[in-house]
Amino acid sequence: MTPELIAVLAVIAAAMVFDYTNGFHDAANAIATSVSTRALTPRIALGMAAIGNFIGAHLGTEVAKTVGDGLVTLPLGVPSLGIVFAGVLGAIAWNLITWYFGLPSSSSHALFGGLVGATLFATAGEVQWGNIVAKVLVPMVVSPVVGLILGFFMMIAIMWIFRRGHPAKLNRGFRIAQMVSAAGMAIGHGMQDAAKTMGIVVLALYTGGFQSSSSHIPEWVYWASATMLAAGTYAGGWRIIRTLGRKIIDLGPAEGFAAETVASSVLYFNALVLHAPISTTHTITSAIMGVGATKRLSAVRWNVASNIIIAWVTTFPAAAVISCLVYFAVRPLFG
């Protein structure tokens, strides 16, 4: 095998490992609320989330193009593949660290931070700061705020519309409704997160000289990325599921339905309209906080929420630093 092929295969393998960790790290995004409200059993919820991720991957083409062609510009050749490899390994490392502590940080921002950090350290490529600001940093701030506000008003609307309803009947109805909202959340997660892995694979293929386009996505890339994300999702991420489903607020079926509906709507709008790769973790967590705030502000366990916010803020720079260290170690292997 040629050095280029070996390097490309190494990056693709790392991307698939990242995809798998993304699946078990972010499984909570799709199922924590429906599991905590007992709308779905854990294994049924995981299976549904895995299928939804698989479907969503085929709808995230534009997000994949943004990741593969819109964040960093690298010269062709093996050394550039070392940059991508280091960036992905940095993201994997941060995923594992935050998973260990049960913190629902953003796998997406870990990946972006890893790519940017390794590129800056290598000085062989160029960071497209305009796109980073417009498609990563601005959505990183705006999407949680939107999720928080919409979650609050969505729950207010539900409370007003069903104010005369019988609690037991309403709980049964919203548990059924959660099957739909959780499926929508799973598809939105695949649309965003599988697409990011696809973008990395395409970047590797283009940089390694195995395809002439930096935006074309071969069909096998869809299937490989979706399969690994689905497998990771089915493996589950119970530490983070407990944080999202139980530790922020005490969720009921109505609250779970409201949070999932808001979060999935934000994901679809960003993927299909803005083509922006936003964080599913930030979106669902902020929606849960907004829903919980309708009870009373003290219903949200703000000490847990503050730890999550700290993880959000530190993810991008932490992954960047880790990727710099990784690049220093792997650079000799990539010439």
* pLDDT tens digits, 259-308: 989 999 998 998 888 888 887 877 888 888 888 888 766 555 666 667 66
What is the total residue count of the chain?
335
Q: Which two tokens stand for residue 281?
A: 């973790």
Predicted confidence (pLDDT) at residue 70 exceeds the cutoff of 70 = yes
Neighbours of 169 (CB within 10 A): 10
Position 334 in a domain: no
Mean pLDDT throughout 203-224? 88
pTM: 0.84
- Is 335 inside any structural domain? no
Q: Is residue 252 a part of any domain in this protein?
A: yes
Using alpha carbons, select from 319, 321, 327, 289 the residue that is nearest to residue 306.
289
List the structure tokens of 323: 């990727």
Residue 284: per-residue pLDDT: 83
Task: Return the residue matching tokens 């600001």.
Answer: 133
Question: By C-alpha distance, which of 83, 152, 95 is closest to 326?
Answer: 83
Task: Domain count for the chain, please give it.
Answer: 1
- pLDDT value at position 157? 94
Number of H helices, E strands in the chain: 14, 2
**Domain-located, residue 261:** yes
Main-chain phi, psi angles of 210, to 5 degrees: -95, 0
Q: Look up the domain containing 136 and give its range.
A: 3-329
The predicted structure's pLDDT at residue 303: 63
